[in-house]
Amino acid sequence: MPPGDAGLTVGLFGGSFNPPHDGHFHVALTALRRLGLHRIWWLVTPGNPLKDHSELEALEARVAAVRRLADHPRFTVTAFEATEGLSYSADTIAFLKRRRPGVRFVWVMGADNLAGFHRWQFWRQIVETLPIAIVDRPGASLSPLSAPMAEVYRHARVAEEEAGDFACRPAPAWTFLHAPLNPLSSTLLRQHGPMRQDA
């Protein structure tokens, strides 16, 4: 697990990264800059509990690929969930709060995950524990209005213009960051192989 002194602000960016792509880099950079965070920790998951794992590459290969992609001085790549036996994000977050008590964490995810967030284990506990930042994604732009999480926690939405110190907000707090849309997905890359971004 990465070190973290008191006062550090960290965006937790969990993912399957099967494989990682520029859309992921875009999400991490958007969160880092727009939320005024010190760092982004990329959490390479042993396996999304809601996804079929039959096409999932080995963790070591995904970590190596994410390290190649996440080439930025404020990015840290880690796979401690596997070594600590953590499958659910609620457990990961509780673990981190215990082990890095002075660090201020924010959960970072793409807008497609907002739509299904109410299916995550202990999702309300997650919302009540740390601020959540959602980055827009093609096909999911309307979900802030209709997702159950957004409805239940409507009162906790923070305007993106006011999210510059987001890590210091008490939970529940969530914000939706509009940004240039990036159309890449791992599914697309698994189906068609690497594609030139400028083609």
Ligand X SMILES: O=C(O)c1ccc[n+]([C@@H]2O[C@H](COP(=O)([O-])O)[C@@H](O)[C@H]2O)c1
Q: Which helix (H) or strand (E) segment is 16 a member of?
A: none
- Single out the residue of 9, 30, 76, 113 in contact with ligand X (rule: CB under 6 A): 113
The count of chain residues that interact with ligand X, using the rule CB under 6 A, is 15
Residues of span 56-95 touching ligand X by CB under 6 A? 88-90
**Span near ligand ATP by CB under 6 A; candidates 4-12, 70-78, 107-115, 161-169:** 107-115
Two tokens, residue 96: 């981190």
Whether the Cβ atoms of residue 43 and residue 13 lie closer than 8 Å to each other: yes
Which of 121, 141, 187, 197 is in the footprint of ligand ATP by CB under 6 A?
Answer: 187
Q: Which 137-156 positions form the footprint of ligand ATP (CB under 6 A)?
A: 137
DSSP per-residue codes, 77-144: EE-HHHHHT--SHHHHHHHHHHHSTT-EEEEEEEHHHHHTGGGSTTHHHHHHHS-EEEE--TT-TTHH
* DSSP tag of 170: P
Q: Determine if 49 is a binding residue for ligand X (CB under 6 A).
A: yes
As a dihedral over the C-alpha atoms of residue 37, residue 84, residue 69, residue 107, rounded to 10 degrees, the angle is -30
Taking CB under 6 A as the criterion, the residue among 4, 11, 15, 172 binding ligand X is: 15
187 binds ligand X (CB under 6 A): no
Q: Beta-strand (E) ranges in 23-62? A: 39-44
Cβ closest to ligand ATP, residue 55 vs residue 151: 55
For residue 6, the minimal CB distance to ligand ATP (Å) is 28
Those residues with Cβ within 8 angstroms of residue 69's Cβ, 6 or more apart along the chain or in another chain: 20, 21, 22, 24, 25
- Picked from ligand X, ligand ATP, none, the partner binding residue 89 (CB below 5 to 8 A depending on kind) is ligand X
Provide φ and ψ at 53, rounded to 5°.
-100, 10
4, 17, 37, 126: which one contacts ligand ATP (CB under 6 A)? Answer: 17
Q: What is the nearest approach in angstroms of ligand ATP to the Cβ of residue 28?
A: 9
Residues that bind ligand X (CB under 6 A): 14-16, 43, 45, 48-51, 88-90, 113, 120-121
